[in-house]
Amino acid sequence: KQEVTQIPAALSVPEGENLVLNCSFTDSAIYNLQWFRQDPGKGLTSLLLIQSSQREQTSGRLNASLDKSSGRSTLYIAASQPGDSATYLCAVSSGYALNFGKGTSLLVTP
Amino acid sequence: DTAVSQTPKYLVTQMGNDKSIKCEQNLGHDTMYWYKQDSKKFLKIMFSYNNKELIINETVPNRFSPKSPDKAHLNLHINSLELGDSAVYFCASSQEATGYYGYTFGSGTRLTVV
């Protein structure tokens, strides 16, 4: 059974810092890996989708990498802003459903 | 033109009642899902339907019954609601069953059982 782990569980950084969120998964036979953002009391916003044949994806200040063989992904956020404060969820599709990590709660302080 | 829409957004009900949550997607996707986000914010798959056929039924009490009248709709009916059913329920869809092209989520239904 696929298990997804996210480290750290919580992170607080001052505005302007670059930061890395980590995600690991136990079964490398995946179709894709997707990073989501969830604001308090809100739904899930898809940030980046990395398909199994890809190594990374970029969108604005966000860059996500995927290393299937080692079962790892990282989400890099450049020049963090207070508006980036949210919970970031890593999810892996091994077929038929997404398996989620427990998330990293990020706080960016002004 | 919301891609995945759920109704209602909030639902407060008493223990023992029966309630339904509706989900519709206008993306033309073949596969739809119900996820439950518990009080610790962990998201867990409940059901998956592909072209109106059930393909995943995780360990969910049989008080929960999904229904898919067509591939654009997946509803969730819950009988005899219990306090522990309080959670946020998310509907999602994907182009096909492997999810290779990614998943789109609705905005969630916050169910509170009192």
User: What pLDDT is attached to residue B40?
Assistant: 85
User: What pLDDT is attached to residue A95?
Assistant: 78
User: What number is the average pLDDT over the span B35-59?
Assistant: 89
B98 near A CB under 8 A: yes
User: Tokens representing B54?
Assistant: 């059930």
Separation in Å, CA of B104 to nearest CA in chain A:
7
Q: pLDDT tens across A61-83, in order?
A: 999 999 999 999 999 999 999 99
User: What pLDDT is attached to residue B56?
Assistant: 82
Q: Which of B32, B3, B2 is nearest to B97 (CA)?
A: B32
B39 near A CB under 8 A: no
Query: Is 80 exceeded by the pLDDT of residue B1?
Result: no
User: What number is the average pLDDT over the span A13-34?
Assistant: 96
Are A46 and B105 within 8 A, CB to CB?
A: yes
A65 near B CB under 8 A: no
Q: How far apart are alpha carbons A16 and A79 in whole angstroms? A: 4
